Structure 1
Amino acid sequence: MRSLPLTLAARLLPVALIVTVGVAMPATGGSDAPAEPTGASPPPSTAATATAGASAPPRYPKPPSKACATLPASTVKELVPGAKTAGNELKTSDVSRRTGCSWHALDGFDYRWLDISYDVTGAAAKQDENGSAISDLGDTATLSQQLTTNDDQEIREAVVTVHQDNAKITVTYNGGDFSSHQGASAGAIRKGALTAAEKAVAALDG
């Protein structure tokens, strides 16, 4: 049987926060009364709150250490029939920042691949520009789908990217029929990717 390797790709977009404070100079005039500054400094309590917020630790200091355990076995069996629920851990040189897992199997002639990856950074990540916006999933989420052909075999794929606070979760789900050479149905791939993404996001908080 042919194998269809995929490449995990997760990019972190750094966020820069620039704060500019301006103080207006009072206009000169003939009055002896002291001029009122037009740009007053924030009260001490406000400044203290802002400082505390800026130095607050990220919500997720590290990704899930056991990424292959973030999806229930029932979800893996449903989305990737025939796959070992233990999965294959993503090889990474910095597990304090990035972890992930993949599952794939050929059940008869029906092929499925599923992988998830977690990336954490010190600041909230920006929403990706690619894909359609998905509501009620993390802080922001997008979904993109494509159909590719390799040696007359179609493979349909969906990628869901979710941002929640300082964490980024990427779910890739694809499949095809090796008998008919057609890709899996768009509805099934979309639904499966979203189901896995919901489970993966929930696993961030244990």
Structure 2
Amino acid sequence: MQRRAQRDGQFDEREQRAERVRRTGGASRLLAAVVAVPVMLIAAGCSSDSGSGDDTKDSAASTGAGSGADAGSAASAAPTVQAAAYKKLPEACAVVSKKTLTELVPKGAAKGKEGTSSDTAARASCSWSSLANNGVKGSQFRWLNVSLLRFESDATTGDGETQAKAYYAKQVKDSQAVSGAKNVKSEPAAATGDEATSVHYDLKKSEGAFKQQTVVARVENVVVTLDYNGAGLAGDKSPSADTLTKAAEKAAKEAVAAVQSANGEGGGGSSDTSGKSPASPSPSGSASSAPSASPSRTASGSASATPGATASKAAAAAPKTSASAKS
């Protein structure tokens, strides 16, 4: 009985120890679980922060890419104009050959007077005058002026060729509407640049009857205006209008060819497929690269080459020279 009681006591002690172990183990597991929860929360927070940073970077990158695309689109949408074909003008006093000058202004072929210009690559001019004294018969007066005007392409005013076309049309119209002009006739001038018009008329002055010839020609972005007039003074007969017209058109062709040659074209003696006139061996010069020349500036710059101005200049010069010739 005593042993049984001892065994029962030992059993009870084992049960109690087992119960304590179970209780201790459960508490430990609970404690471990409680400790693990903050760790998981911290890890989740770190993971969340890392993802947020990546999202921010991706957003910034996409925004930057979008801005670059917008900038590229804006740049491509910016207006552009076609570059001007011709960048130079020849020396104005050398656009007509010596031989032709001798025919048109025999007493002044070697005395070309260059016009003033602040930009010879955009505008230039040269004039010649001649007075041939025929003794008691009177004298023959001739005056020749060549004006060159080059238009540069510009985003505001447009491409050079379009500007030149507009100025060409204006020059032709002005030549046909000179005050006091009689028997005005206009006709195309063949094989002279891309387009050309010859205008001729009579202009009566107190000094005599003047025959005015104006040839306006355009080649690419350059406009050539050639004025040629003649008169019989102090009793001499008036020159033939047909003769003066042919001479003026010949000189205009040489001037156009000189413009082409100055820009590296021509020299073959035959016209190309664009209808431009053949190049002549007349000398030409070159100029430095030119700034833009808008119509508003160039029109005023070449006013001296208009028919009205040239006729009045010739009329003013004629009486003085003829009087000295007669004396």
TM-score after normalising by structure 1: 0.68
- Asked if the contact 2:122/2:150 (under 8 Å) is kept, the reply is yes
**Shift, 1:151, TM fit:** 1.0
The partner residue of 1:95 within 99, 114, 120 is 120
Runs of 4+ in 1 over 6 A off after TM superposition: none
* Alignment partners' CA distance in 2, 1:105 and 1:204: 25
* Alignment partners' CA distance in 2, 1:141 and 1:104: 24
Structure whose residues are more often strand by fraction = 1
The partner residue of 2:85 within 52, 59, 66 is 59
Matched, 1:185 2:211: no
Q: Give the equivalent residue in structure 2 for 1:41.
A: none
* Alignment partners' CA distance in 2, 1:156 and 1:94: 32
Other structure's SS at 2:203 match: strand
- Asked if the contact 1:112/1:173 (under 8 Å) is kept, the reply is yes
Runs of 5+ consecutive residues of structure 2 not aligned to the other structure: 1-76, 134-138, 153-159, 174-185, 262-327
**Shift, 1:181, TM fit:** 5.2
- Asked if the contact 2:131/2:140 (under 8 Å) is kept, the reply is yes
User: How is 1:108-187 mapped onto 2 (pairs within 5 angstroms)?
Assistant: 108=133, 109-122=139-152, 123-124=160-161, 125-126=164-165, 127-128=168-169, 129-130=172-173, 131-180=186-235, 182-187=237-242
Higher mean alpha-carbon deviation, 78-87 vs 124-133, is at 124-133
The superposition leaves residues 141-178 of structure 1 with CA deviations (integer Å, 9 ceiling, x where unpaired) of 11111111111511101000001110000000110111
1:69–1:132: structure 2 CA closer, same or farther, 3 Å change rule? Answer: same
* Alignment partners' CA distance in 2, 1:193 and 1:120: 21
* Alignment partners' CA distance in 1, 2:250 and 2:232: 21
Runs of 5+ consecutive residues of structure 1 not aligned to the other structure: 1-50
The superposition leaves residues 156-203 of structure 1 with CA deviations (integer Å, 9 ceiling, x where unpaired) of 010000011100000001101113354321111101110110110000
* Alignment partners' CA distance in 2, 1:200 and 1:68: 10
TM-score after normalising by structure 2: 0.44
- Asked if the contact 1:152/1:181 (under 8 Å) is kept, the reply is no
Amino acid at match of 2:102: K
Other structure's SS at 1:102 match: strand
User: How is 1:79-94 mapped onto 2 (pairs within 5 angstroms)?
Assistant: 79-94=104-119
**Shift, 1:55, TM fit:** 4.8
- Asked if the contact 2:140/2:236 (under 8 Å) is kept, the reply is no
* Alignment partners' CA distance in 1, 2:106 and 2:218: 28
1:174–1:73: structure 2 CA closer, same or farther, 3 Å change rule? Answer: same
Larger Rg belongs to: 2
Q: Give the equivalent residue in structure 1 for 2:303.
A: none
Other structure's SS at 1:94 match: coil
- Asked if the contact 1:90/1:100 (under 8 Å) is kept, the reply is yes
* Alignment partners' CA distance in 2, 1:67 and 1:92: 11
Amino acid at match of 2:114: E
* Alignment partners' CA distance in 1, 2:219 and 2:84: 11
The partner residue of 1:78 within 103, 109, 129 is 103
* Alignment partners' CA distance in 2, 1:205 and 1:164: 8
Amino acid at match of 2:147: S
- Asked if the contact 1:155/1:182 (under 8 Å) is kept, the reply is no
Amino acid at match of 1:161: V
